[in-house]
Structure formats: C-alpha cells, structure tokens
Amino acid sequence: LDIALICPLHGPVLRENLGYYIGLYQTWSSYTPETDGILIAYTSVYGNTRNAVELLADRLRAKGCPRVEVQDLARC
C-alpha cells in the first residue's frame, strides 16, 4: 500500500517521513519501550508524594535498576 498522506483526527497532516511516523506508531501501539528504564510520574500538592517517589527511586537505583527517572507532571 502506497501511503502519501497521514491525516489524523487532530494534529498536523503528515506529508513527509511517513515511514518514521508509522514506525513510532508501531512502537507506541505495541508497548515496546523506546529505551530501557523506569519512569515514575507523579504530582504532589504538599510534597509528601514527592518524598515517597524520591525514596522509591533511590531504592530502585540501589537495586541496580537501569535509568530511573522521576517526573513531576505538574512541572512538565
């Protein structure tokens, strides 16, 4: 099938590098991680959840887990 355009329901119409975008979709829809590691996403009003997340991240790193990242979703 020769695809010339990708017209999503939202976002820009894709006209170039379609193979790249199809590859991204394949990765995202197959639950295949793009990189090895752990992401802990959180938000914290009073800082307590942040403290718990940082403790968890430190313990995962101490156990040798590769690439542990922490992301505060309120600060993205």
The phi and psi torsions of 60 (rounded to 5 degrees) equal -65, -45
pTM: 0.63
Q: Which two tokens stand for residue 56?
A: 């968890």
Q: Output the pLDDT for position 50.
A: 96
pLDDT score for 53: 98
Give per-residue pLDDT as tens, 16-39: 999 999 999 998 899 888 888 999
Phi, psi of 59 (to 5 degrees): -70, -40
What backbone phi and psi angles, to 5 degrees, belong to 28? -65, -40
User: What's the pLDDT tens digit per position in 46-69?
Assistant: 999 999 999 999 999 999 998 999
